[in-house]
Amino acid sequence: MSLNKRAIIIFALTLLWGCDKPPTERPMLEIHGRTMGTFYGVKVVGDFPGGEQALQSQVDGLLKHYNDEISTYDPNSSLSKFNQFNSTQPFPISQDMADIVISSVRVGERTHGVLDVTVGPLVNLWGFGPDKRPIKTPTDAQIAAARVKVGIKRLHVDVSSDHATMRKDQPDMYVDLSTVGEGFGADKVADFLESRGVHNYLVEIAGASRSRGLNAKGEPWRLAIQKPTDEIEEVQAIVQPDGRAISTSGSYRNYYELDGKRYSHIIDPVTGKPITHKLVSATVITPTALEADGLDTALMVMGPEKALAFAKEQHLAVYLISKTDQGFKAEYTDAFKPYLVK
Ligand code: FAD
């Protein structure tokens, strides 16, 4: 499983203990592919019009469409064209782009700006965007210069009955939707499946996942949260999301080391620097995968104490893993308990 930058190993776990195996399994279609610089998987229990081949081509087509909309790795994507548009004038965007930006800014406001999709100049400065890794850490002056281009309050989306536009208060602002792209894609594939009459499915894009109904054995979908190490793939906990979305953000896979220090891809918009605290994995369960995908990054920025306090205050279903001298420490909110199997 390449590029699995997330702490969830997505596999539909059946009840491996204490449950009689049903005599028959329902037919299940399973497809895999690459999207958004990572991987995806879809499991559909029952029929899909045109079978596995049709499912593969239609899901690939859907994900390519959204990649062409919101990728910052493709210089010709709609989002890249907005980032290249060196003006504060309104820039025409699609309704889908308006939806993902409005939803991302809403999650950002809920986290008091800790999640900030205008953080792109800092992400790129620290080498976690489409550009190359820096050969030395950015200077304070470079960080300060990038920070003045950041702030969700300076990004505006205007939607009318027949068109949508986006504009920035500073011409060289740069929007990076990497933190919510996979969740947005998982939501879109789930909506597509349901529009085709599919009600028993599992969709995962790099660990942001949506599921609904039952697996081929007639049991609820179960997913594993992985121990936050990039050496072995070991299960930390097993959850049963019961039709809700789940997403995990981690700081132990997407990082680099420079002069003996480790730099994570999670950037604190206030300091302009990668996080350095001991929270290494945050999992969130919410109704949509976009929301879970944005909130997990925000919790990673906050750090262990603030993330747990925020999750409790917001009654969020959250599972946090921190690194301690004695190993990993897991903490979760009361709202997470009903989803925890083991
Ligand atoms: P998450 O925790 O979900 O998000 C972390 C990412 O969010 C960081 O990488 C950074 O970009 C951003 N971020 C960091 N701090 C903050 C903050 N405080 N607020 C908001 N955002 C923040 N990668 C490739 O290598 N090649 C590709 O071709 C490629 N194409 C992509 C196309 C699309 C449409 C998208 C959405 C992403 C693409 N990516 C690509 C990026 C890659 O898929 C992941 O999105 C990225 O590595 C982060 O995902 P994650 O799940 O690891 O981290």
In tens, the pLDDT along 144-202 reads 999 999 999 999 999 999 999 999 999 999 999 999 999 999 999 999 999 999 999 99
Residue 222 has a pLDDT of 97
DSSP lists the bridge partners of residue 237 as 225
Determine the distance separating the centroid of ligand 1 and the alpha carbon of 294, expressed in angstroms.
Answer: 11
Residue 230 has a pLDDT of 76
DSSP codes of every residue in 231-255:
S---EEEEE--TT-EEEEEESSSSE
85-175: CATH topology is T-fold (1.10.3980)
Is the CB of residue 14 less than 8 Å from the CB of residue 217? yes
Lowest mean pLDDT among 6-10, 138-142, 154-158, 311-315: 6-10
> What is the value of pTM for the model shown?
0.93
Determine the distance separating the centroid of ligand 1 and the alpha carbon of 87, expressed in angstroms.
Answer: 25
For residue 329, what are its two tokens? 């420490």
For residue 138, what are its two tokens? 């950015």
Pocket test for ligand 1, best of 63, 104, 179, 182 (most atoms within 8 A of CB): 179
H/E stretch holding 157 reads strand 155-159
Beta-carbon count within 10 A of 165 CB? 16
The dihedral sign for the CA sequence 213, 217, 222, 224 = negative
Residue with tokens 């081929």: 216
DSSP structural state of residue 152: G
**Ligand 1 atom closest to Cα of residue 249:** 2
Which residue's alpha carbon is at the smallest distance from atom 32 of ligand 1?
Answer: 36
Lowest mean pLDDT among 35-44, 77-86, 133-142, 305-314: 133-142
Residue with tokens 């925890």: 340
Residue with tokens 């790099």: 206
Residues in contact with 62: Cβ distance below 8 Å, sequence separation at least 6, in sequence order: 188, 189, 192
Beta-carbon count within 10 A of 16 CB? 9
H/E stretch holding 82 reads helix 78-84
Determine the distance separating the centroid of ligand 1 and the alpha carbon of 178, expressed in angstroms.
Answer: 3
Determine the distance separating the centroid of ligand 1 and the alpha carbon of 177, expressed in angstroms.
Answer: 7
Determine the Cα–Cα distance for residues 217 and 205; give it in Å rounded to an integer: 23
In tens, the pLDDT along 34-68 reads 999 999 999 999 999 999 999 999 999 999 999 99
In tens, the pLDDT along 72-81 reads 999 999 999 9
Using a 6 Å cutoff on CB, does residue 267 contact ligand 1?
yes
Quick one: what percent of the chain has pLDDT higher than 90?
A: 85
Using a 6 Å cutoff on CB, does residue 269 contact ligand 1?
yes
DSSP lists the bridge partners of residue 40 as 33, 205
pLDDT tier for residue 231 given thresholds of 50, 70 and 90:
confident
CATH architecture for segment(s) 10-14+24-70+179-339? Roll (3.10)
Q: In what order do the strands lie in the sheet with 235-239?
A: 8-9, 223-226, 235-239
Assess whether pLDDT exceeds 50 at residue 19: no
Determine the Cα–Cα distance for residues 40 and 206; give it in Å rounded to an integer: 6
Domain ranges of the chain: 10-14+24-70+179-339, 85-175
Instruction: Please give the mean pLDDT across all residues of the chain.
Output: 92
Residue with tokens 């054995």: 217
pLDDT tier for residue 250 given thresholds of 50, 70 and 90:
very high
Determine the Cα–Cα distance for residues 342 and 180; give it in Å rounded to an integer: 28
The strand pair at 317-324 and 279-286 is best described as antiparallel
Determine the distance separating the centroid of ligand 1 and the alpha carbon of 102, expressed in angstroms.
Answer: 18
Instruction: Report the Cα 249 to chain-centroid distance in Å.
Output: 7
Assess whether pLDDT exceeds 90 at residue 16: no
pLDDT tier for residue 22 given thresholds of 50, 70 and 90:
low
Mean pLDDT of the 268-292 span: 97
